[in-house]
Structure 1
Amino acid sequence: MTHEEQSLQTKKALAASLKKLLAHKSFSRITVTEIIEDCGLNRKTFYYHFEDIYGLLRWMLEQDLLSVILSFDLTTDYEQALTYAIDYIEQNKQLLYCIFHNFGHDEMKHLFYRDFAQLVDSIICASEQKLGLYLDEDFHRFLECYYTGALSGILMAVFEKLYVTDRQQLIDNVSLIFHASLPTLIEQKGTPRE
């Protein structure tokens, strides 16, 4: 096993212990000692991989969302990736509330933003290829930021129950926005591929 594989396995073991502990107590009451005792590692190993428990929590959430989202073919299955994200929010409310209460609204939105930036970039690239056009780097980045901000914002609104709708309706609405607006923007700002 390579060092990278071993490191990933260690991080996963620490994350699994944290998740297990979160099922029984609040994040603010969990200690590094409890985590390392649960997974049979030592304190030095924990601090080799993470600066603190907050670092472990951030990594755990990023891995949970990002690893599964990236397992989809984002050029064709972005609706499935979005469905997964909504399901993840519903199934991990306790963990997400913990993050929300310990890190705040902005940090949680930032986590969603980072995880969805690659999804949005893939959707834009697929649309460019389909239309035989490409966008200059600045406008491509602008669209990525715009759509990612909107997507992470709506997921935060769903999480905070500021926007309540049927799960499928949410997916349909997001898909409609991408299908209706993105090709038009690319056609207006794009340059033909050579």
Structure 2
Amino acid sequence: MELANTRTDRRVLRSKLALKQALLKLMSEKSFSSISITEIVELANYNRGTFYTHYEQKEALLEEVINELIEELIAAFREPYDHVELFHVNELTANSVTLFEHIYSRKEEYTVLFRSDALPMVKDQMFNSVKRILNEDLEYAYGEINPELLQAYSTHALMGLVFHWIEGGFKYEPPYMQKQLIAILHWRPKTAKTHVKK
């Protein structure tokens, strides 16, 4: 019985993976809104019955693709502090930041999603996930700083950097992005030369 269940589980995983890959392939060629379930199943070499066994509609399939990426994104974000009780932010090293490595390892999926008409939903889910774990996972001594405003600033700054990197076609390698993030976090300029004409 257990062997039969294992085989069934493998078949389910295999069919769902094929459907996801077919969806992403189609999204690299056309808008998500114009893709039909028939196109997805034909490309995946399955039938509509298999599709409806797993998903009610194509939006549910897309949501699962995004959710899997988000789960990996959260795990990568948490990596530097996941096994410690007290996280020393000022001691954060570039090597401990795995966020960019995760995204780069799935760059094909991110590239397709960021060029698709599903982009607003993708960005919203990524942003809200990071915002939520920043709020749930880490507690700072804020001093005079408003926690709500700091959280908004931190989330927008980090995700703005991530979005810029993805939309720029991964111009820089992950190790460079990791080092730059650490440098940005520690950057505290005291003066700036102006270019205002007098």
| Both proteins in one fold, TM over 0.5 | yes
Among 154, 162, 169, the alignment partner of 1:155 is 162
User: Is the alpha carbon distance of 1:143 and 1:158 closer, same or farther for their aligned partners in structure 2, counting shifts above 3 Å?
Assistant: same
Alignment coverage as a number of residue pairs = 166
Q: Percent identity?
A: 15
Partners in 1 of 2:94 and 2:158 — Cα distance?
A: 12
Matches for 1:1-194 after TM superposition, within 5 Å: 16-21=17-22, 25-27=25-27, 28=30, 31=39, 33=41, 42-47=50-55, 51-70=59-78, 72-74=80-82, 75=87, 82-83=97-98, 85-103=99-117, 105-118=119-132, 120-121=134-135, 125=139, 128=140, 133-134=141-142, 139-161=146-168, 164-165=171-172, 167-179=174-186
Contact map agreement 1:26 1:98 (CA 8 A) in 2: no
Give the number of the structure whose residues are more often helix, by fraction.
1
CA contact (8 A) 2:74 2:129 kept: yes
* Residues 23 and 40 in structure 2, CA contact (< 8 A), matched pair in contact too: no
The Cα offsets for residues 68-90 of structure 1, whole Å up to 9 and x where unpaired, read as 4345525366855643x212332
CA RMSD across the alignment: 4.5
TM-score, length-normalised on structure 1? Answer: 0.58
What's the CA shift for 1:152?
0.9
Distance 2:133 2:95 in 1: 11
Shift of 1:120: 3.9
| Residues in 2 aligned to 1:104 and 1:114: alpha-carbon distance in whole angstroms | 16
Q: Which runs of 5+ in 1 are unaligned?
A: 1-8, 182-194
Distance of 1:105 and 1:112 partners within structure 2: 11
Task: Judge conservation of contact 2:73–2:102 (CA < 8 Å) in 1.
Answer: yes
Q: Which residue type is aligned with residue 17 of structure 1?
A: A
**Structure 2 segments unaligned to the other structure (5+ residues):** 1-9, 189-198
The separation in 2 between residues aligned to 1:70 and 1:50, in whole angstroms, is 31
Residues 32, 64 of structure 1: alpha-carbon distance in 2 compared, 3 angstrom cutoff: farther
1:120-145: CA deviations, max 9, x gaps?
Answer: 447852xx2xxxx3468x92122112
1:149 offset after TM fit, Å? 0.8
Q: Name 2:7's counterpart in structure 1.
A: none
Q: State whether residues 76 and 102 of structure 2, in contact with CA within 8 Å, keep that contact through their aligned partners in structure 1.
A: no
Q: Helix, strand or coil for the counterpart of 2:109?
A: helix
Larger radius of gyration: 2
Q: State the TM-score, normalized to the length of structure 2.
A: 0.57
